Structure 1
Amino acid sequence: MLDLPLITTRMKALLASLGMVALTALIAGAGGYAMGHRTAKADGTAALAMLKAQYANALAMASEQARHQEQVLTIRANQLAKQVQQERTRHAEEANQLKRRINRVTSMYRPSLDSPLQPVPRCVFTHGFVGVWNGAIGASSVSSADRATGAADAADTAEALDSGVQPADLLTHITEYGARCRDIESQLNRVIDWVQETQP
């Protein structure tokens, strides 16, 4: 029949073998896990270091490009500012040339080409005229009476008085005002140039 001690011994041997296999597998698994963990950690650390280096290089390149772009924009802004200053200087010189002519063109005239020079007749500019002039250029506000009733209806007796303004005064004013307008136009044109050049 069956030999029980043999079965028990075989069973013990089998269990012992299985235990040894399990223990060996456990030790090998733990060793593999530890070795895999170290390898993965080393690989992860290397990958992280490489990624940090890539980001650092990208940041350095972006910073260098930004510095270069800033230099280019600064140079262009300085060029535009210089152009504005040159145009303002030219406008001032032209205004001065025109002002030097004002006395000549407002004091003497010829009724015809073959006539001798004569003094220019006195020209009267009323307070109303000066008020309209100043309102048109924004030097004074348009009165509420003018806005409400219309310019033709708003009659003021003081408007008809002589203002004392002479043609030379008007030419001096328009010469200076024209130079100012041209300065503003030049500045606006340079700003438009700047915006158009710097837009993507």
Structure 2
Amino acid sequence: MSSSTALRLFRGTGPFEFTGPVLERVLDELAVDIAADGEVSMVIAVANGGTIPGAGLAARLAVPLAHVHAKHNRTDAIHTQATGDVAVAFPDGFPDALSGRVLLVDDICGSGATFTALTTALEPRLTPGAHIKTVALCRNEGADRAPDWAAYTVDDWVVFPWETPPAGIELVALPSPASLKGRTL
């Protein structure tokens, strides 16, 4: 278990809606940027939020996909702060040894705690010369850690295509990214 004291920011500019078409464009652009930075050996998707973007990146980069479980949210209700305490679980069949450049993918880097906990938990499995790079569709401004790649920096809750939108709350659509570099909303 790992702990973080960073708090997500919720400034009332959203909640934002991350639509399916935006997801496809973001995954295309992320794959190009990541591939241009060097060869990837594997994608590890953080279940549950990173499952779909992780699978999308693994397919686009033509590399193997694995999943890891990390939990620290008390609820999926919007504007809920994460606990900062992250429980990590490796499923049966998870690789014992990781080589090359491994991508750790999640939907959002809310506080930074999940990426920090998972990077620490994965380190004993890294072979000499192997390293982890982090990818998130969004990074909350309150995160105490920035992923290596993120399509958006946001200051409110984000509802992703695989999530049920909250009833009675109007969502603000995220624009299609003009560029993945420095996009802040």
**The TM-score by the shorter chain falls in which range?**
under 0.3
The structure with the larger Rg is 1
TM-score (norm 1): 0.23
TM-score (norm 2): 0.24
> Per chain length, whose mean CA-contact separation is higher, i.e. which structure has more relative contact order (CA < 8 Å, sep 6+)?
2
**Which structure dedicates a bigger proportion of its chain to helix?**
1
